[in-house]
């Protein structure tokens, strides 16, 4: 759960719970899927493991985000490293400023 991660907070995105750190979205739920934001190399690795593009609107994928495949979602021990990678990725980005 994101609530137990230091430096992370939960708020709603697309009407579903989502994790933010450093002002950036790094993970969340959407309909029946769970998405993460990853750097290029990690996205390639997750895609090879069955991750698919995150498209909250059909035909409009969100860059840098993939849906975790069901076998990973069903195993909390398999989800944890992907959440860690997503969190570490956004923590390296400049803090997001409000418009």
The tens digit of pLDDT for each residue in 32-85 reads: 999 999 999 999 999 999 999 999 999 999 999 999 999 999 999 999 999 999
Instruction: Name the pairing type of β-strands 52-53 and 24-30.
Output: unpaired
Distance CA 40, CA 46 (A): 10
What pLDDT does 18 receive?
Answer: 96
Model's pTM, two decimal places? 0.91
């Amino acid at each position: 759960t994101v609530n137990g991660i230091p430096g992370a907070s939960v708020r709603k995105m697309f009407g579903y719970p989502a994790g933010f750190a450093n002002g950036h979205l790094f993970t969340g739920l959407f309909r029946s899927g769970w998405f993460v934001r990853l750097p290029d190399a990690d996205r390639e690795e997750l895609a090879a493991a069955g991750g698919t593009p995150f498209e909250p609107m059909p035909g409009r994928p969100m860059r840098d985000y993939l849906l975790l495949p069901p076998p990973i979602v069903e195993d909390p021990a398999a989800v944890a490293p992907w959440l860690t990678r997503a969190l570490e990725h956004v923590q390296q980005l400049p803090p997001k400023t409000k418009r």
